[in-house]
Amino acid sequence: MSKRKKSLLMSLIAIILIASTIAYYKIPLKANTVFPTGEITIIDFGYYKNGNYANLDVYEVEFKNSKEIHQIVNIFNSTRYTRIPGNKNIRNDGKFLSMYIRIKDEDFNGYILDINDQGYFKIDKNTYKLTDKHSQIFNELYKILVANHKAVNE
């Protein structure tokens, strides 16, 4: 193979790799590809103010009612998500909600979901950015999870 063909082939491979990487991080994902599959049985949560664990309001509230769980899931389904490279700590970016979700499967797996008011969402070690309506989604979750309940440590 001539040098010209080799350099053309290498350039084409580089362009494909760059385009694939950009697409991987920029193409919006539906909620069903971001969230674990299975029936959610329990949601527990905590609310943090100003990204500081000293400002933690502890709520010992478990959502077991399927209507409440579906309402929370529908809020997450109302937007799309893009991947964020690396391991971004979204807990230092202002207000955030942290939820523990238990999935009904063979092992009753649990997942930690964090969402902040800046539009970042983290499930276990994967970080995503909400593509739109991030303030509205955070506020709707806040109303359901926090506003109608009293903190244990108040």
> In degrees rounded to 5, what are phi and psi of residue 50?
60, 30
Provide CB contacts within 8 A for 47, sequence distance 6+.
56, 57, 59, 95, 96, 97, 98, 142, 145, 146, 151
Total count of residues recorded for the chain: 154
Helix (H, G, I), strand (E, B) or coil at 115: strand
Q: Which residue has the higher pLDDT, 2 or 46?
A: 2
Torsion of CA 46, 118, 93, 70, to 10 degrees: 20
pLDDT band at 91; cut points 50, 70, 90: confident
Whether 152 is in a domain gets the answer no
Q: Which residue has the higher pLDDT, 120 or 151?
A: 120
Enclosing domain of residue 44: 3-147
Alpha-carbon gap, residue 81 to 110, rounded angstroms: 21
**CB 47 within 8 Å of CB 97:** yes
pLDDT band at 22; cut points 50, 70, 90: very high
Alpha-carbon gap, residue 81 to 123, rounded angstroms: 12
Whether 45 is in a domain gets the answer yes
Instruction: Name the pTM for this structure.
Output: 0.77
Q: What pLDDT was estimated at residue 152?
A: 47
Q: Give the chain's domain count.
A: 1
Whether 153 is in a domain gets the answer no
- Taking only the tens place, the pLDDT of each residue in 62-80 is 677 778 788 888 898 899 9
